[in-house]
A and B are shown apart, each in its own frame.
Chain A
């Protein structure tokens, strides 16, 4: 098992070396970058947005219902919702959702190309298939995913505000005051950094699994499943490591 892990890690590193070779033509790279941004980032806006709004609302209700002690200022509800969203939900939970959506999309797309011989055809033309297919995905996912994190944060806050306005579970002014209380801008950077790292892992590991797919449609399915499992575990592992390094 250890040997298999080391072999897979080594192959992944060699794969990344191939991916990060200089693109043959920058014009082609940018065209692919735009296409991948549409496919990976823009198409994720709806699912990220919907989940964020609902989670924001639920967080307000749960936090308020657990703070019935009159000694506690109701403003803390807004504060806790903001901190929960920025520290964990908008990066880690959203990344776990994207591991399913983005990861399976990438692994199955590249895996199908592998088993139908399209990747071999590119290699035979002298095209760096890994660079052409994977680099734009990795760059787009890594550098533009923090925008998804910001969007998720804004919509989570908005979802909480909607619940506050509709149910008056706490006074709206208190919620807004809590959002502004003890604001630390570094947390946004921390969350954006985590999101970029997680999306790098999702895009590169899913691409690697798709690129190495074997054995027909069963192999593509297996590579897609493996991508989601491996990236989900690594997201949680790196969440722990990055949090320890950046916040403690």
Chain B
């Protein structure tokens, strides 16, 4: 389980994360939601160790992230898969090369086995006949899928996704959501998704944390979010037409 305790992070005078506390449920899709600029990405970067907090702790199981040395962090990172907002596929590698990349470093598998594993991951995310293409030749949705395939290549325990739906049409967005949810259940991964997409949240959010002004204002699941008393969350969720409709139905049925 991942646990965050009293996390603070500032950039100069800008206090982005203020005493953040949360627990991320193992083997579930944990959604971190909030408006743009609320501190979601900064929180995610702290969680995966790309940024160091000013104070507070992040626990992976019984291990405190800030106390891990270089080698411990390195071995933890091999258990973490990350899907970045812009996918961050390596433009010097082909699609299959991108998925094989982490295997080259952390396995001693023969070339054939690596290709087999890469093919399995690409098949799992429905990427076919694109092995030898370069990332620049792929559509946004395809890049996300390849990003997911690369993230699960080493069979991680944790999967972090930063805005997996950004820039995608609603249909592709929904496919990516279901893909991430399916992978989470199939491989029993603890998944953490940063999003402000209400459809995603309502579709796959097993556990939801709402960030506003740098603090976690609400935690719950996708059923309870529609009946929340938290005014900021109601405003945030209500900004989406579909969600507003669902909320009003929920209120009127009470």
Which residues of chain A are near B6, meaning CB under 8 Å? none
Return the chain A residue nearest B75 by Cβ. Answer: A126
Which residues of chain A are near B49, meaning CB under 8 Å? 124
The 6 A-B pairs of least Cβ separation, nearest first, read A117-B88, A126-B77, A121-B88, A126-B74, A124-B82, A125-B102
What is the interface of chain B mostly: helix, strand, loop, or mixed? Answer: mixed
**Residues of B bordering A, CB below 8 Å:** 48-50, 73-78, 80, 82, 84-91, 101-102, 104-106, 154
CA A60 to CA B90, docked complex, whole Å: 49
Return the chain A residue nearest B93 by Cβ. Answer: A118
Contact A124 B77 (CB under 8 A): yes
Contact A28 B88 (CB under 8 A): no
**A116: shortest Cβ distance to chain B, in Å?**
6
Among the listed B80, B86, B87, B104, which residue makes an inter-chain contact with A124, where contact means beta carbons less than 8 Å apart? B80
CA A177 to CA B134, docked complex, whole Å: 57
Contact A123 B50 (CB under 8 A): yes
Contact B102 A118 (CB under 8 A): no
Contact A121 B105 (CB under 8 A): no
Contact B104 A118 (CB under 8 A): no
Return the chain A residue nearest B76 by Cβ. Answer: A126
CA A124 to CA B88, docked complex, whole Å: 11
Return the chain B residue nearest A112 by Cβ. Answer: B91
Instruction: Answer whether A28 and B104 are a contact pair too, CB < 8 Å, given A116-B88, A120-B50, A123-B50.
Output: yes
Contact B90 A121 (CB under 8 A): yes
Contact A118 B105 (CB under 8 A): no
Contact B90 A25 (CB under 8 A): no
Which residues of chain A are near B82, meaning CB under 8 Å? 121, 124
**B237: shortest Cβ distance to chain A, in Å?**
29
Instruction: Answer whether A124 and B105 are a contact pair too, CB < 8 Å, given A116-B88, A117-B86, A118-B91.
Output: no
Contact A126 B106 (CB under 8 A): yes
Which residues of chain A are near B91, meaning CB under 8 Å? 113, 116, 118
Which residues of chain A are near B74, meaning CB under 8 Å? 126
Instruction: Answer whether A25 and B104 are a contact pair too, CB < 8 Å, given A123-B50, A124-B50, A124-B80.
Output: yes
Interface core residue of A25, A117, A124 (most chain B CB under 10 Å):
A124
Contact A121 B84 (CB under 8 A): yes
Among the listed B80, B88, B154, which residue makes an inter-chain contact with A120, where contact means beta carbons less than 8 Å apart? B88
**B125: shortest Cβ distance to chain A, in Å?**
17
Which residues of chain B are near A127, meaning CB under 8 Å? 102, 105
CA A116 to CA B101, docked complex, whole Å: 17
Among the listed A117, A120, A123, A126, which residue makes an inter-chain contact with B105, where contact means beta carbons less than 8 Å apart? A126
